[in-house]
Amino acid sequence: MSCYSEFAMYYDELMDDVDYESWFLYIKEIFKRFSVDPKEILEMASGTGSLTYYLCKEGYSVTGFDRSEEMLSIAYNKLLQFKNVHLLKQDMVDFNIGKKFDSILCICDSINYITDELELLQIFKNVYDHLKDNGIFIFDINSYYKLSQIIGNNIFIEDRENIYYVWENYFDKNSKLTQFNLNFFIKASEEGYIRFDEEHIERAYNIKEIEDLLRKSGFNKITIYDAFTFNKPNKNSERINFIVKK
């Protein structure tokens, strides 16, 4: 089953521990520190529009795209009140918006889902082409440490009021791929549950690999932080934030 098909319906509930408002405020602080005042923002892999909501509320003109129709449908309903948003069904690998932006965002480790280096290089080149001069590209990744040591080869179980799920993970050190096998049990009635399964794969990249691909794409102004801070990443950083200026 493809990523985020049936999962999309329960995504926001299962991600309720993610503070998108704080994430938005962190991005705003990045804009301030890097002397960027964007008017038009492109959000890659915008999902159910949770970050998009705060961007629109702040008054930015936002174009968001995702490859999942199910996620876009939820985002559309979430963002109905805003006139300053445009949602598209496109893929990160070959997106073409036909215009340039002041800032491009890609959050929530969406980059890790690109498991082929050549595809990631193409994405970074495409970002470069869609970014205005002096524009800023902000994205994050799950760190190699997190995917290999914390998530990899571990099992997580969560039992909520209406959802029970098992998250079983396998890390392959040769391919650097972490496979997530997700089994969901949704309470349908007092007597029974509906089950659906999904498989997700993320690649563990080290910082140098990402830096090299960015430089090959034309970017030279690269700043790297331990996510949600303005500190350098360390060996125990679980999420790494990249701020890249054109």
Count the domains in the chain: 2
Is residue 105 in some structural domain? yes
pLDDT at 2 over 90: no
- Where do we find the tokens 């938005």? 24
- Give me 189's structure tokens: 């009635």
pTM assigned to the model: 0.94
Is residue 109 in some structural domain? yes
Q: Is there a single domain that holds both residue 62 and residue 172?
A: no
Q: Is there a single domain that holds both residue 35 and residue 109?
A: yes
Q: Is there a single domain that holds both residue 150 and residue 71?
A: no
Q: Is there a single domain that holds both residue 133 and residue 184?
A: no
Q: Is there a single domain that holds both residue 122 and residue 238?
A: yes
CB-based contact 205:223 (threshold 8 Å): no
Confidence tier at 181 by pLDDT (50, 70, 90): very high
Q: What is the predicted pLDDT for the residue at 191? A: 72
Q: Spell 1-25 as b/e; 16+ CB within 10 A means b.
A: eebbeebbbbbbebeeeeebeebbe
**Boundaries of domain holding 149:** 145-203
Q: Is there a single domain that holds both residue 161 and residue 175?
A: yes
- Give me 138's structure tokens: 């902000």
Handedness of CA 107, 48, 202, 229 (dihedral sign): positive
Is residue 180 in some structural domain? yes
Q: What rounded mean pLDDT belongs to the chain?
A: 94
Is residue 2 in some structural domain? no
Sheet holding 221-226, edge to edge: 85-89, 61-66, 40-43, 101-106, 131-142, 239-245, 221-226
For the residues 193-209, what does the mean pLDDT come to?
93
Q: Is there a single domain that holds both residue 152 and residue 213?
A: no
Confidence tier at 187 by pLDDT (50, 70, 90): confident
Q: What is the predicted pLDDT for the residue at 1? A: 38
CB-based contact 61:100 (threshold 8 Å): no
CATH code, domain carrying 196? 2.20.25.110
Q: Is there a single domain that holds both residue 189 and residue 118?
A: no
CATH code, domain carrying 29? 3.40.50.150
Q: What is the predicted pLDDT for the residue at 3? A: 54
Is residue 3 in some structural domain? no
Q: What is the pLDDT of residues 127-173, one digit of tens each?
A: 999 999 999 999 999 999 999 999 999 999 988 888 888 999 999 99
Q: Is there a single domain that holds both residue 60 and residue 165?
A: no
Q: What is the pLDDT of residues 63-120, one digit of tens each?
A: 999 999 999 999 999 999 999 999 999 999 999 999 999 999 999 999 999 999 999 9
Is residue 14 in some structural domain? yes
Q: Classify residue 83 by its DSSP letter.
A: S
Q: Is there a single domain that holds both residue 212 and residue 195?
A: no
